[in-house]
Structure 1
Amino acid sequence: MSEWKARRFWKAADVAEQGNGYTVLLDGREVKTPAKSPLILPSRALALQIASEWDAQDGVIDPLSMPHTRTANSAIDKVTPQHAEVADLLADYGDSDLLCYRAESPTELVERQQEAWDPMLDWAAQTLGARLHPRAGVIHQSQDPEAVAVLTRRVRDLSAFELAAFHDLVSLTGSLVLGFAAFLDAAPINRVWEISRIDETWQQEQWGVDDDAMDVAGRKSVAFQHAKHFADLTRAVS
């Protein structure tokens, strides 16, 4: 027996104001999240993007073709009820940030990391008010608790929708600093991604390209770009 799949049942997807936000209407009916919560969105721009995803469905509904809808659902159903836990999970990256763990050799890799990562740590100190310090090697060494506390407060201040996007900006790079750099436009998004992959790029140069690894990296890059776009739409002035 073939598995039943939801099919398009509506003619038009529209956007309407709802309370302090916006919602998506399918032939006048409000869209709900998988947990049956109202899909209330923080900006008209995000609502329009999600409406376009629903409007693009043809025949069988394909959730994989609706990334903004899925992230919004996650913000409402998963992040909102456990906001503090998600925020603290991401803030923990500040005590073991990718940018702070440096190679001891070879010299060229050490220099690449310094050239790309030191300016990001300087930016975090100036813009975020938190100075993190690099370490040689991979053994964990705790950062200044006051700096970590500053970063933690900044993460906790993010809304559920911002946090849903910020989760991927941080987890895909392994860096709280780079997550903020992407979120706050400290550098072009493609450059932030390149900075996060200095070690992987070095390995490819030494040992050649692994097709499977490149495929995984490509998917992660797409997810990173999506997270940035979702964050921008969330904060768009309606």
Structure 2
Amino acid sequence: MDRRPKRFYKSAGVTTVKGQYQLALDTRAARTPGGRAFVLPTLALADAVAAEWERQEDRISFHLMPLTKLAATTLDHIACRRDETVDGLLAYVDGDVLCYRTESPEDLVSLQMSTWQPLLEWAATELDVCLETTTVLRPLRQPSTTVASLRRFLTACDDFTLTGLAAIAQTAGSLLIGLAVTRGRLDADAAFRAAFVDECYQADRWGGDPEAELRRQRLAAELGDADLFIRLAHARAR
């Protein structure tokens, strides 16, 4: 039995409301699952969300609407839970994947260094965030000054950036990778390679099984969706 909701509208579009952009279904203002007005900050993001609704067929497949889900999350949850969101992001700091290095084999050590060290140096220079690294299998405790710097940066982020950043950090297991994407230091492909250095190394060396490959494709898609969401949320009108 197909439990997906039926498509209840003929067309999806965008209307302008006080300088922002409202998702409209059959010219009626759409609302989020939480009952809030589905209003977005840029025409680019609103058009992309409307396009997801327009592409639906007889049944609505929400798993094929990543931008809609991220936008609804922003409006229903992030906007009213900013402090909680920032605290959740800071929870990634001590376990950031970039900070845990292997001691062997040498080619993996080299790959981790060449992929991760430039990001750590970028964070130190651009964000005033210095993360410690380890090769020991025990949790790190990053300096309180580092956490304080990150908190200031995250607090200054807008709601839509926080949503995309949270999605990337969750998928990548790294707040720093998320920050690099939001600041334009990494695109989604580079973020995936940085987040899954070890896994991709093993797949290249020993071959990957189909299930693992499907998982990597899903994770890459999640990073791509979050990256696109952030860029569209800040796209300037042409």
Q: Same fold (TM over 0.5)?
A: yes
Superposed CA deviations along residues 2-55 of structure 1, whole A, max 9, x for unmatched, are: 566432333332211223421011222100111111111111111111111122
Whole-Å Cα distance in 1 between the matches of residues 4 and 177 of structure 2?
39
What's the TM-score once normalised by structure 2's chain length?
A: 0.93
Contact (CA 8 Å) 1:166, 1:183: kept in 2 or not? yes
What's the TM-score once normalised by structure 1's chain length?
A: 0.93
What residue is the counterpart of 2:107 in the other structure?
108
Q: Aligned runs of 1:1-238 on 2, under 5 Å?
A: 2=1, 5-238=4-237
Structure 2 portions without partners, runs of 5+:
none
Q: Secondary structure at the match of 2:79?
A: helix
Q: Secondary structure at the match of 1:102?
A: coil
* Deviation, structure 1 residue 95: 2.5
Task: Give the letter aligned to residue 233 of structure 2.
Answer: T
Q: Secondary structure at the match of 1:94?
A: coil
Superposed CA deviations along residues 74-126 of structure 1, whole A, max 9, x for unmatched, are: 11112222221111111222222111111122222111111111111000001
* Deviation, structure 1 residue 184: 1.3
Whole-Å Cα distance in 1 between the matches of residues 3 and 128 of structure 2?
53
Q: Secondary structure at the match of 2:86?
A: helix
Task: Give the letter aligned to residue 28 of structure 2.
Answer: R
Whole-Å Cα distance in 1 between the matches of residues 186 and 68 of structure 2?
27
Contact (CA 8 Å) 1:71, 1:164: kept in 2 or not? yes
Structure 1 portions without partners, runs of 5+:
none
Contact (CA 8 Å) 1:33, 1:77: kept in 2 or not? yes
* Deviation, structure 1 residue 228: 0.2
Contact (CA 8 Å) 2:21, 2:43: kept in 1 or not? yes
Greater CA drift, 42-51 or 58-67: 58-67
CA-based RMSD: 1.7
The number of equivalent residue pairs is 237
Contact (CA 8 Å) 1:87, 1:156: kept in 2 or not? yes
